[in-house]
Structure 1
Amino acid sequence: MGLSACSSQEKSADGKVTIEFFNQKTEMADTLQRIVDDFEKEHPNIDVKLTTVPSAGIVLKTRILSGDVPDIINIYPQNMDFQEWAKAGYFADMTGKPYLENIKNDYAEKYAINNKIYSVPLTANLYGIYYNKTKFKELGLEEPKTFKEFQEIVKKIKDSGNSPFAVAGNEGWTLNGYHQLSLITLTGSGDAANNYLRFSKPNAISADDAI
């Protein structure tokens, strides 16, 4: 979640401030509205306008490039668009702000850009792998306890003529976790992930390489 450096907030005659919260995840609209309602009860001098629109990514890009930047944005910090916009000064630098101490495990620092923090996490997701116990029993496999055992099991499944993995992909955004987010997690930060890819020789990275 990012804060705009080019605020469009309005102040009314009664001293109330209106800010816009631009939401890119339509499935979260109801939940976010409840959060907004609770926030407004605690801060009666602030009105929050929650904006949820179809094709939010395209709408946001158009608005930012035209200078109509929302005050708060549900953003994807791993995306190159966000990184370029942050470098161009569209988002507020939150580095060193005291409220960052409320965020656990340095999650905000993980997505720092050039060592500056432009976003804070709205949610945290836990990724895992489900396995078919019946199939494991048929193949004589046991649940792996280490990554090495996991790799050995994958090989055994392939050698048996079966596919080790399947990703349903019904919700396309979930694939993001297995590509961009996993690389950021393993390398330590968004900057480190970019450097890992940038300074690797073409075709030098294999799917079997450990990061």
Structure 2
Amino acid sequence: MTNKLLRVFAFVTVMALVLAGCGSSSDGSGGVKTIHIYQFKVEILQPLNEMKAEYEKTHPGIKLDIQSVGGGSDYGSALKAKFASGDQPDIFTNEGYADRDTWFEYMEDLSDQPWVKNLDEFAKEPMTVNGKLYGQPMNLEGFGIIYNKDLFQKAGITQLPRTLNELEETAKKLKAAGITPFANGFAEYWILGNHLANIPFAQQKDPAQFIAGLNDETSKIPGNPVFEKWVDLLDLMLKYGNANPLTTDYNSQVTMFANGQAAMMHHGNWTQPQIDGINPDLNLGILPAPIDNDPSSADKIAVGVAANWVVNKNSPVKEEAKEFLNWLATSDAGKKYVTEKFKFVPAFKNMQADEKVTGDLGMVVSQHAKEGKIWTWNFPRFPKGYNHDISSSMQAYIAGEINKEEMLTEFQEEWENLSYR
């Protein structure tokens, strides 16, 4: 073959490849656009796949590629690895506050989306910067002291505790009836460093200002009266709790409670599916977690946004991604997935939690959110790694290795060492 023929052949080959590429999407499926979704709620993997099939059926030309990383895997590290490799998702999940700040440069402003007007106001805060909203809340979760109503009745408890002294009286009655008052799973860092540690942060006069003060060194944890009183609650839970709390993990704790071996545990509505799997007939409620004898805050539990959907502003299909989130939050089919299939407590005024699937605990959370009787979630504002560090300090305190003052001093030092100011 002559050089001229070789050049002609090469030109024709290149043009054929170019023309073949025209009219094809990135997935090579003839104009079909793919929305790549990366998220960490592995518990909704099956209904997400059902939703994918329905959405693709009703939206010709759109494919959903859903990848779920969570459970025992580190979602944050996996997400960073994807971005570092250039394999950026179009939609991903974000916890808000510090996590929002970490990924802010990639986030699309969603303030003008139709679903925003239906959001509960407090649910906007974790993803709001300078008045603009950068995420759609996936769901609400809430936590406090979950209690077994039937065991309370068995112990002759007719009035729910509203103060720390009343909580101790309740624990004494349960113990006298042969019932372990508290199931404590203190082998888990997040039970201590996220949820229990949230209590003294949430009950500050202004939690956001207090945290800002920790960053600019105008707030201190040692000597703070709220933290001092909070340790009294921890002591009470230990005094009236199960043996060996430091070797009791989450699964053992919830199993103990679900089997009726304990009457209370500090947890949230995410435990309902596991409880139902063991004992679906339990009658459950959620008590506030009192730190003193002032009953004025006895009607609040901690309620917050567990995760948010965000749109990658650099995505080539970001308009399609926004349309998907709008469908999820406003269409009848989308709302059905959120409330019935995902079994979420929604953060939207135009959705109603489904009692049949969220159970007793989800309905308590939903009611508190509607009435505004909530403590804020503050652990998403912590410097990265702080929850791990303070959980280690709490475990040392529980083991008797350090005293209260030493534990709170470590809380302060650990913040200063990790602060992202």
Report if TM-score (shorter chain) is over 0.5. Answer: yes
Q: Name 2:166's counterpart in structure 1.
A: 153
Structure 2 unaligned blocks of 5 or more: 1-24, 214-218, 231-290, 298-374, 376-421
Q: Displacement of 1:10 after TM fit?
A: 3.6
Q: Displacement of 1:167 after TM fit?
A: 4.1
Q: Displacement of 1:186 after TM fit?
A: 7.2
Q: Name 2:44's counterpart in structure 1.
A: 28
Q: Name 1:117's counterpart in structure 2.
A: 133
Cα gap change, 1:161/1:47 in structure 2, threshold over 3 Å: closer, same or farther? closer
Q: Name 2:103's counterpart in structure 1.
A: 85
| Counterpart amino acid of residue 100 in structure 2 | F
Hey, which of these two has a bigger chunk of strand by percent? 2
1:48 aligned counterpart, secondary structure: strand
Distance, in Å, in 1 between the alignment partners of 2:81 and 2:207 is 27
Q: Name 2:195's counterpart in structure 1.
A: 178
1:64 to 76, 83, 92: 83
Q: Name 1:14's counterpart in structure 2.
A: 30
Q: Name 1:94's counterpart in structure 2.
A: 110
Whether 1:131 and 2:148 are equivalent positions in the alignment is yes
1:38 to 31, 45, 54: 54
Hey, which of these two has a bigger chunk of helix by percent? 2
| Counterpart amino acid of residue 152 in structure 1 | N
Q: Is the 8 A contact 1:23 1:29 kept in 2?
A: no
1:32 aligned counterpart, secondary structure: helix
Cα gap change, 1:44/1:70 in structure 2, threshold over 3 Å: closer, same or farther? same
Distance, in Å, in 1 between the alignment partners of 2:128 and 2:64 is 28
Distance, in Å, in 2 between the alignment partners of 1:180 and 1:100 is 31
Higher relative contact order (CA 8 A, sep 6+): 2
| Counterpart amino acid of residue 151 in structure 1 | L
Q: Displacement of 1:125 after TM fit?
A: 3.1
Q: Is the 8 A contact 1:77 1:111 kept in 2?
A: yes
Once the two structures are aligned, what percentage of the paired residues are identical? 24
TM-score normalised to the size of structure 1?
0.67
Structure 1 unaligned blocks of 5 or more: 1-8
**Equivalent residue pairs, number:** 191
Cα RMSD for the two superposed structures: 4.0
2:147 aligned counterpart, secondary structure: coil
Q: Displacement of 1:179 after TM fit?
A: 5.1
Distance, in Å, in 2 between the alignment partners of 1:194 and 1:150 is 25
Moved more, 194-203 or 16-25: 194-203
2:209 to 172, 175, 195: 195
Distance, in Å, in 2 between the alignment partners of 1:106 and 1:164 is 36
Moved more, 128-137 or 109-118: 128-137
